[in-house]
Amino acid sequence: MATDYYAVLGVQRDASQDEIKKAFRRLARELHPDVNPDPKTQERFKEINTAYEVLSDPQKKQVYDLGGDPASGAAGGGAGGFGGGFGNFSDIMDAFFGTAAQRGPRSRTRRGQDAMIRLDIDLDESAFGTTKDIQVDTAVVCNTCSGEGAAPGTSAQTCDMCRGRGEVSQVTRSFLGQVMTSRPCPQCQGFGTVVPTPCPECAGDGRIRSRRSLTVKIPAGVDNGTRIQLAGEGEVGPGGGPAGDLYVEIHENAHPTFQRRGDDLHCTVTIPMTAAALGTKVPLETLDGMEDIDIRPGTQSGQSVPLHERGVTHLRGGGRGQLIVHVEVTTPSKLEPEQEELLRRLAKLRGEERPTGQFQPGQQGLFSRLKDAFNGR
């Protein structure tokens, strides 16, 4: 046996096809004439081409293992250019880029794009969940051609330029020999078929735009920006391909009383100082109905009253947030003579006619902070 092709590629005789291919890729990158133009390297490059041509073909490999040489008499011609040593253009792509070039016509049917719409809901709907009917404008399958793209009574025909292959090939000569390149067919755009008479309804696209109604179930606990996915309710793809998904983005309308922070609700109730001192009950319309808020005697301005399980339902997990009522105590700015007399008597009884007050460090104003910054404090 004149040449040991296994030794040329540096593999064992029991090497698998994957091992043979990996060895060929590695050597092809190292010895390619564009990388290493040395004449000796070019001869070595021809040898690995011939070795790979034999060992990568199961029939030729079997003949070689039995003692024959399938490349004898054709080794020189096979190694003279890409047309022989590599077998075809996909071998070149596979060697240098790790993957074979995609061949054949591409499908006219493709998946559609996803779509998204915004849905405005009220606070109570997001807190407890609801069901909404929405209108969406998306691409749907053309009823006239059922997604085929051809006018009724006609059909797509095989492209006469590429004969259904979806690509055309061109052979050029280079210093390495003949090189065959392929590109999408310009007549059928790579589909392999042409539509002589497009559907008049969809202009051959296989889909049209239409408005349709959908029912969306809104789970309890959604918030601003929450997106609900409706699988298969988006845009139908070209050629009547499968539809994408529809995403419904939630926008929660502002509430006149409550402000939402996570799953908790906040509101502020203003009461006079007498009610804060003596205590009282304030009616409040919550999401669950009317309730009395218990203001305990001696409540100070800024204190809060939490109501458990009166907030928004947790989106994941059970339970609800809190409703937190913030108390703001107002002081009267104008008193009637009798009211003033009563307050003076109360102040005397409490020994508060001349209170000394309790002073604590306060926050600096903007101009004070600027002054300290310029003075280097």
- In this predicted structure, what is the pLDDT of residue 329? 96
Number of domains comprising the chain: 3
Domain of 12, CATH number, reads 1.10.287.110
**By the 8 A CB rule, do 238 and 206 touch?**
yes
- In this predicted structure, what is the pLDDT of residue 52? 87
On whether 159 is known to bind a ligand per the annotation, the reply is yes
- In this predicted structure, what is the pLDDT of residue 115? 94
On whether 267 is known to bind a ligand per the annotation, the reply is no
- In this predicted structure, what is the pLDDT of residue 80? 36
Q: Are residues 210 and 317 in the same domain?
A: no
- In this predicted structure, what is the pLDDT of residue 1? 44
Q: Are residues 140 and 223 in the same domain?
A: yes
Residue 198 lies in a domain: no
Residue 188 lies in a domain: no
Q: Are residues 211 and 336 in the same domain?
A: no
Q: Are residues 11 and 63 in the same domain?
A: yes
Q: Are residues 250 and 285 in the same domain?
A: no
Q: Are residues 19 and 89 in the same domain?
A: yes
Cite the DSSP H helix spans in the chain.
5-9, 17-31, 39-55, 58-65, 75-79, 82-85, 89-97, 123-128, 273-278, 337-349, 366-374
Domain of 330, CATH number, reads 2.60.260.20
Q: Are residues 46 and 87 in the same domain?
A: yes
Q: Are residues 242 and 284 in the same domain?
A: no
- In this predicted structure, what is the pLDDT of residue 269? 96
Instruction: Supply the range of the domain harboring residue 309.
Output: 259-349
Q: How far apart are the first and last CA of the chain?
A: 94
Q: Are residues 131 and 216 in the same domain?
A: yes
Buried b (16+ CB within 10 A) or exposed e, 99-126: eeeeeebeebeeebeebebebebebebb
Give, for all 377 residues of the chain, the pLDDT tens digit: 458 888 888 888 888 888 888 888 888 777 766 666 677 777 888 888 888 888 888 878 877 887 777 766 443 333 333 333 344 444 444 444 444 444 568 888 889 999 999 999 999 999 999 999 999 999 999 999 999 999 999 999 999 988 888 888 877 776 666 677 788 999 998 999 999 999 999 999 999 999 999 999 999 999 999 999 999 999 999 988 899 999 999 999 999 999 999 999 999 999 999 999 999 999 999 999 999 999 999 999 999 999 999 999 999 888 999 999 999 999 998 989 998 899 989 988 888 888 776 666 755 554 555 556 556 55
pTM: 0.62
Q: Cβ contacts of residue 306 below 8 Å, gap of 6+?
A: 322, 323, 324, 325
Q: Are residues 87 and 118 in the same domain?
A: no
Length of the chain: 377
Q: Are residues 212 and 92 in the same domain?
A: no
Q: Are residues 250 and 264 in the same domain?
A: no
- In this predicted structure, what is the pLDDT of residue 82? 35
Nearest to 287 by CA among 307, 304, 268, 270: 307
